[in-house]
Homo-oligomer: A and B are copies of this chain.
Amino acid sequence: MSQSKRQSSDNAIGARLREWRSEKGMTLAAVSARTGVASSTLSKIENELVSVSYYTLKRICDGLDIPIEEIINPDHKTFAPGRRAVTRANEGTVFRCSQYVYETHSTELSRKEMIPLIMTVLARTPDDFEDWNRHDGEEFILVLDGEIDFYSEFYAPVKLKRGDSVYFDSSMGHMCCSSSEEPAKMVSVCYDPRAHQQQDVSEFFSSGRLTVVRAE
Give A contacts to B, CB under 8 Å. 7, 9-10, 13, 51-55, 57-58, 67-70, 72-73, 78-79, 83-90, 105-106, 109, 112-114, 116, 118, 137-138, 140, 142, 144, 150, 152, 154-155, 158, 160-169, 172, 187, 189, 191, 193-194, 197
Contacts and interface: CB of A to CB of B under 8 A. Distances in A.
A172 B86 contact: no
Given A69-B69, A79-B169, A54 B10 contact: yes
A138 B118 CA distance: 18
A84 B116 contact: no
The complex is assembled from copies of this chain, and their number is 2
The dominant DSSP class at the A interface is mixed
Contact of A85 (B112, B161, B167): B167
A101 to B, nearest CB: 15
B79 A138 contact: yes
Given A57-B54, A89-B162, A169-B79, A113 B138 contact: yes
